[in-house]
């Protein structure tokens, strides 16, 4: 058998799906050491985080099992063929949960009574964040993101406008952020903070947008687009698209129009990404969750005619194309863009 240099083996392996790598790990110790190496894990993520075709999506739904007094979280992936494949199902304590968007293949979800969990659905691993004394005080919301400066994942918890706490996964301890209270930083609780490109963003109680640098742990404020200054703030929604902050304006009288703005952080100004118009149905409960590689179609998730709905909106033709998910029957689910990774949830 011809000798194959290690760099070539690593390069080949880094292009394979995670599930294939799991099988290779059992072949021999050399492959296992390659695949577990942090440099390889990063290289694998970079190869698979670039969208070449259709989006990879992860759907999550919650099942309450009253007889066992437990809750199950189910994760499904959808790729090119629009067929839902079950990835991971896990029992957790009985509670009402909010599931946050996928970040580098990891997903954070938190319960109404204080529990916070982070999992990798692809590798089927999960960690529950430790409780602290302040968990006796019910927090309002959570955010999850990656600190590229320090190479770690962080969970941000909002207790009230005066208090924010950070959990840093690399050292397993809660770090409390103390800052002089200002109304321009206060958290307005109508949606969780959005993570994009190294920052958490949320609406403040003073009707601006707060940006929190996850690495430097510093605050700034961002003005709204001029057209949204006098809008109902509860009809404005923040999302992350293509790793950039976007704002969705739902404040239109007929409820059949949505404006999407994208924040250019380098230039510190808003640019209108586009307008979505439905001719017959209200779309005020619809949210964009992804942009296809051709940048012509926006993936939308929301409720149309009372049912959970996934569709693509073509920005050029103005037409909607429903996505009929095979193998998935629930009308109530969370969905976000996703990439399968080897990242460990405990580091």
Same domain, 163 and 23: no
Give the model's pLDDT for residue 50.
66
Q: Which domain holds residue 174?
A: 52-326
Same domain, 181 and 36: no
How many CB atoms lie under 10 A from the CB of residue 183? 11
Structural Rg of the chain based on CA atoms? 21
Same domain, 16 and 90: no
Q: Which residues of 121-158 are buried (b: 16+ CB within 10 A; e: fewer)?
A: bbbebbbebeeeeebeeebebbbbbbbeeeeebbbbbb
The answer to whether residue 341 is domain-embedded is no
Decide the pairing of beta strands 116-120 and 125-128: antiparallel
Instruction: Write the CATH number for 58.
Output: 2.120.10.80
Number of domains in the chain: 2
Q: Kindly list the averaged pLDDT for each block of 10 residues, start to end, along the chain of length 347.
A: 70 81 77 80 79 72 81 85 81 88 93 87 88 63 90 84 78 66 68 92 84 89 88 88 91 85 87 88 84 81 71 89 80 85 76
Residues 6 or more apart whose CB falls under 8 angstroms from that of 241 comprise 260, 262, 273, 288, 290, 291, 298
DSSP β-bridge partners for residue 88:
75
Same domain, 16 and 91: no
Domain boundary residue, one of 49, 66, 83: 49
How far apart, in whole angstroms, are the C-alpha atoms of residue 68 and residue 66? Answer: 5
Same domain, 44 and 173: no
The answer to whether residue 192 is domain-embedded is yes
The answer to whether residue 311 is domain-embedded is yes
The answer to whether residue 73 is domain-embedded is yes
Give the model's pLDDT for residue 290.
87
The answer to whether residue 40 is domain-embedded is yes
Same domain, 193 and 267: yes
The answer to whether residue 342 is domain-embedded is no
The answer to whether residue 344 is domain-embedded is no
The values of phi and psi at residue 136, to 5°, are -65, -25
How many CB atoms lie under 10 A from the CB of residue 80? 9
Give the model's pLDDT for residue 80.
66
Decide if 246 contacts 240 (C-beta within 8 A).
Answer: yes
The answer to whether residue 20 is domain-embedded is yes
Decide if 76 contacts 87 (C-beta within 8 A).
Answer: yes
Same domain, 40 and 188: no
Please give the C-alpha separations between residue 96 and each of 18, 104, 117, 158, 164, in angstroms, as whole numbers: 31, 25, 13, 17, 22
pTM: 0.87
Same domain, 17 and 158: no
Burial class (CB in 10 A: 0-12, 13-18, 19+), 288: buried
Decide the pairing of beta strands 297-304 and 236-241: unpaired
Same domain, 28 and 103: no
Q: Which residues of 17-51 are buried (b: 16+ CB within 10 A; e: fewer)?
A: ebeebeeebeeeeebeebbeeeebbebbbeebeeb
Same domain, 15 and 112: no
């Amino acid at each position: 058998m011809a000798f194959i240099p290690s760099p070539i083996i690593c390069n080949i392996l880094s292009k394979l799906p995670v599930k294939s790598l799991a099988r290779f790990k059992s072949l021999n110790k050399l492959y296992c050491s390659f695949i577990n190496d942090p440099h390889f894990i990063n290289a694998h993520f970079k190869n698979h985080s670039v969208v070449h075709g259709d989006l990879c999506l992860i759907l999550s739904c919650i099942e309450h099992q009253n007889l066992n007094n437990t809750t199950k979280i189910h994760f499904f992936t959808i790729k090119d063929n629009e067929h839902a494949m079950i990835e991971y199902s896990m029992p957790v304590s009985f509670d009402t949960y909010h599931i946050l968007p996928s970040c580098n293949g990891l997903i954070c979800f938190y319960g109404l009574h204080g529990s916070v969990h982070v999992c990798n659905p692809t590798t089927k691993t999960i960690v529950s964040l430790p409780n602290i004394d302040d968990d006796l005080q019910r927090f309002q919301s959570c955010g999850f993101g990656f600190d590229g400066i320090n190479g770690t994942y962080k969970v941000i918890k909002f207790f009230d406008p005066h208090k924010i706490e950070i959990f840093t996964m690399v050292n397993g301890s809660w770090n409390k952020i103390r800052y002089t209270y200002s109304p321009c930083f206060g958290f307005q609780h109508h949606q969780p903070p959005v993570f994009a490109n190294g920052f958490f963003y949320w609406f403040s109680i003073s009707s601006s947008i707060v940006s929190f640098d996850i690495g430097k742990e510093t605050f700034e404020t961002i003005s709204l687009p001029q057209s949204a200054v006098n809008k109902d703030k509860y009809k404005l929604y923040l999302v992350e698209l293509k790793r950039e902050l976007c704002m969705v304006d739902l404040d239109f009288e007929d409820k059949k129009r949505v404006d999407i703005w994208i924040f250019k952080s380098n230039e510190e100004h808003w640019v209108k990404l586009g307008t979505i118009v439905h001719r017959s149905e209200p779309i005020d409960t619809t949210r964009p969750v992804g942009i296809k590689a051709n940048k012509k179609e926006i993936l939308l998730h929301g409720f149309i005619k009372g049912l959970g709905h996934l569709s693509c909106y073509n920005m050029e033709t103005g037409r909607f194309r429903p996505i009929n998910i095979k193998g998935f029957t629930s009308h109530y689910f969370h969905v976000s863009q996703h990439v399968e990774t080897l990242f460990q949830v405990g580091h």
